[in-house]
Amino acid sequence: MAAEDGATTPALDRARRLVGDDLQAQRRVWRLQRLGWAGMIVVVAASAAGLFGAGGPLAGVSTRGATGLAVDYEAVVRRSRATTWTIALPPGADTLVLADPATDLFQPRLVLPRPIDERRVDGGLAMTFHPAAGGRPSVQLSLTPSAPGWHAVRLSAGGSSTLLHIATLP
């Protein structure tokens, strides 16, 4: 017959002392372990949802500037893991400016379509694209985050600007 749950009898206490068991301390450890398991489940669920970047339903964020500059990006990214910004320039605009220190925090890997001109301007990097025929030019920037931390990155185009708030995890 099995012993009752949590039973403590003199014989049990003696046996526990004999092997160095400390039931009270062990119960505390078990409680902490269960809390730890709950924490691990939360981490896994949050990761699957995208709260730690690298895809997931909650990973993507959109920002829309008042005069038409729109950016879809990931608000949480991981260092050294490429992330993509999809940028819709305002109608008529053909130049996108990444304000400093954006290019120090995020190394551009690929720009689609390829810019016809790329130059340093006062306070940032300017990329000029072919004017879109009868529509809004759309640009895809693939970047590699290089510095962990909370970053605010300003993008400007055609007199409109928007601020991206991005957390880069180590």
Partner 1 sequence: MDTVLRAAAVYLVLLLLFRIAGRRSLYQITTFDLVLLLVIGEATQPALLGDDLSVTTAVIAITTLLTLDIVFSLVKRDVPVADRVLDGRPTLLVLRGQPLDREMRMARIDLADILQAARERQGIVRIEDIGMAVLEVGGAISVIPRGHLDAAIRA
Provide the minimum distance between the beta carbon of 151 and partner 1 in the complex, in angstroms, as a whole number: 20
Nearest partner of 126 among 143, 142, 108, judged by Cα: 108
Provide the minimum distance between the beta carbon of 142 and partner 1 in the complex, in angstroms, as a whole number: 18
Provide the minimum distance between the beta carbon of 31 and partner 1 in the complex, in angstroms, as a whole number: 9
Please, which residue, 7 or 133, has the CB nearer to partner 1?
Answer: 7
The C-alpha atoms of residue 75 and residue 57 are separated, in whole angstroms, by 12
Please, which residue, 43 or 163, has the CB nearer to partner 1?
Answer: 43
Provide the minimum distance between the beta carbon of 36 and partner 1 in the complex, in angstroms, as a whole number: 3
Residues 6 or more apart whose Cβ sits within 8 Å of residue 21: 15
The C-alpha atoms of residue 85 and residue 69 are separated, in whole angstroms, by 12
The H or E element spanning position 52 is none
Measure the N-to-C terminal CA separation of the chain; round to a whole number of Å: 54
Provide the minimum distance between the beta carbon of 83 and partner 1 in the complex, in angstroms, as a whole number: 17
Please, which residue, 7 or 66, has the CB nearer to partner 1?
Answer: 7
Helix (H, G, I), strand (E, B) or coil at 110: strand
Helix (H, G, I), strand (E, B) or coil at 141: strand
Please, which residue, 26 or 140, has the CB nearer to partner 1?
Answer: 26
Please, which residue, 37 or 121, has the CB nearer to partner 1?
Answer: 37
Nearest partner of 83 among 58, 110, 101, judged by Cα: 110
Binding site for partner 1 (CB under 8 A): 1-7, 11-12, 14-16, 18-23, 25-27, 29-30, 32-33, 36-37, 39-40, 80
The C-alpha atoms of residue 50 and residue 56 are separated, in whole angstroms, by 4
